[in-house]
Amino acid sequence: MSMVSADYSIIFSPPQRDAIASALRQLLPEDCILLKKEDLGPYSCDGLSVYRQLPLAAVLPKTVEQVQAVVRYCHQQTIPIVPRGSGTGLSGGALPHHQGILLNLGRLNKILDIDIDARSCRVQPGVRNLAVSDAVRPQGLYYAPDPSSQIACTIGGNIAENSGGVHCLKYGLTVHNVMQIKLVLANGELATIGSGALDAPGYDLLALVTGSEGLLGIVVEATLKLLPVPEHAQVLMAAFDDVVKAGNAVGDVIAAGIIPAGMEMMDHMAIGAAEDFVNAGYPKEAQALLLCELDGTREEVEDGISQVKALMMSAGASTLRVSEDNQQRSRLWAGRKAAFPAIGRISPDYYCMDGTIPRNQLPHVLSRMQELSAHYGLRVANVFHAGDGNLHPLILFDANKSGELQKAEQFGSDILQMCIEAGGTITGEHGVGMEKLNNMCSQFAPAELEQFHAVKQAFDPNHILNPGKAVPTLHRCAEFGAMHVHEGKLPFPDLPRF
207 lies in the binding site for another protein (CB under 8 A): yes
Within 136-195, the residues that bind another protein by CB under 8 A are 140-141, 161-162, 164, 168-169, 172-173, 175-176, 185, 189-193, 195
Within 58-117, the residues that bind another protein by CB under 8 A are 115-117
> Closest approach of Cβ 104 to another protein, in Å?
23
Stretch that binds another protein, among 40-48, 104-112, 230-238, 279-287 (CB under 8 A): 230-238
- Residue 218, sorted as left (phi over 0), alpha (psi -120 to 50) or beta, turns out to be beta
Instruction: State which amino acid sits at residue 232.
Output: H
Within 240-259, the residues that bind another protein by CB under 8 A are 251, 254-259
Q: Could you give the string, one character per residue 309-348, with x where binding to another protein holds by CB under 8 A and - elsewhere?
A: ----------------------------------------
Nearer to another protein, 168 or 332 (CB): 168
Question: Which neighbouring-strand residues pair with 350?
Answer: 396
Nearer to another protein, 372 or 440 (CB): 440
CA 255 and chain centroid, separation: 28
Question: Which neighbouring-strand residues pair with 489?
Answer: 486
Q: Could you give the string, one character per residue 379-418, with x where binding to another protein holds by CB under 8 A and - elsewhere?
A: ------x-xxxx----------------------------
Within 33-62, the residues that bind another protein by CB under 8 A are none
Stretch that binds another protein, among 51-59, 106-114, 143-151, 450-458 (CB under 8 A): 450-458
297 lies in the binding site for another protein (CB under 8 A): yes
Nearer to another protein, 24 or 357 (CB): 357
Instruction: State which amino acid sits at residue 361.
Output: Q
Site size for another protein, by CB under 8 A? Answer: 95
Within 414-443, the residues that bind another protein by CB under 8 A are 423-432, 436, 440, 443
Stretch that binds another protein, among 102-110, 211-219, 317-325, 364-372 (CB under 8 A): 211-219
Within 352-371, the residues that bind another protein by CB under 8 A are 356-360
> Closest approach of Cβ 454 to another protein, in Å?
4
478 lies in the binding site for another protein (CB under 8 A): no
| Interface pick for another protein out of 138, 202, 491, 493 (rule CB under 8 A) | 202
Nearer to another protein, 140 or 377 (CB): 140
Q: Is 391 exposed, middle or buried (0-12, 13-18, 19+ CB in 10 A)?
A: buried
> Closest approach of Cβ 231 to another protein, in Å?
4
Within 256-295, the residues that bind another protein by CB under 8 A are 256-259
| Interface pick for another protein out of 304, 393, 412, 468 (rule CB under 8 A) | 304
| Interface pick for another protein out of 119, 309, 337, 368 (rule CB under 8 A) | 119
> Closest approach of Cβ 165 to another protein, in Å?
10
